[in-house]
Amino acid sequence: MTPYTWTWVAIVAAAALAFLTKYAGHVVPEAWLEHPRVHRIAGFVTVGLLAALFATQAFTSGSALVLDARVAAVAVAALLLWKRAPFILVVAAAAAVAACLRLLGWG
């Protein structure tokens, strides 16, 4: 098969997998979903996925680990959150720190 054909095979396979995943969510017995362990695991999976996304976006560029202005911005945001600052202030301060450091040529 040509690479073009393989591309379409991959697209159709991905669509079928997405459909089957959604369908599985509808056919799982409701009693299984109401179990406290399922709720607890779902919460952990959500936190784990968000932490992985954050780490990937904040500390990498391509496939390399990078320490640049984003790290300083995250540190400022963590400090302000620890001090219980309003969320909009946390976002604005982190953005300002990253922008200033980039303006100075770091990152």
Q: What is the pLDDT along the chain (107 residues), one digit of tens a residue?
A: 898 999 999 999 999 999 999 999 899 898 888 899 998 999 999 999 999 999 999 999 888 999 999 999 999 999 999 999 999 999 999 999 999 999 999 87
Question: What gap in Å lies between CA 77 and CA 70, rounded to an integer?
Answer: 10
Please give the angle made by the CA atoms of 29, 32 and 38, to the nearest 5 degrees: 140
| Residue 20 maps to a domain | no
| Residue 99 maps to a domain | yes
Number of domain units in the chain:
1
| Residue 77 maps to a domain | yes
| Residue 73 maps to a domain | yes
Give the CB-side neighbour count of residue 50, counting CA atoms within 13 A.
6
pTM: predicted TM-score of the whole model, two decimal places: 0.62
| Residue 1 maps to a domain | no
Identify whether the C-beta of residue 67 lies closer than 8 Å to the C-beta of residue 59.
yes
Task: Give the range of the structural domain holding residue 95, as residue numbers without chain letter.
Answer: 67-107
| Residue 7 maps to a domain | no
| Residue 79 maps to a domain | yes
What are the tokens at 86?
């309003």
Q: Which amino acid is at 95?
A: A
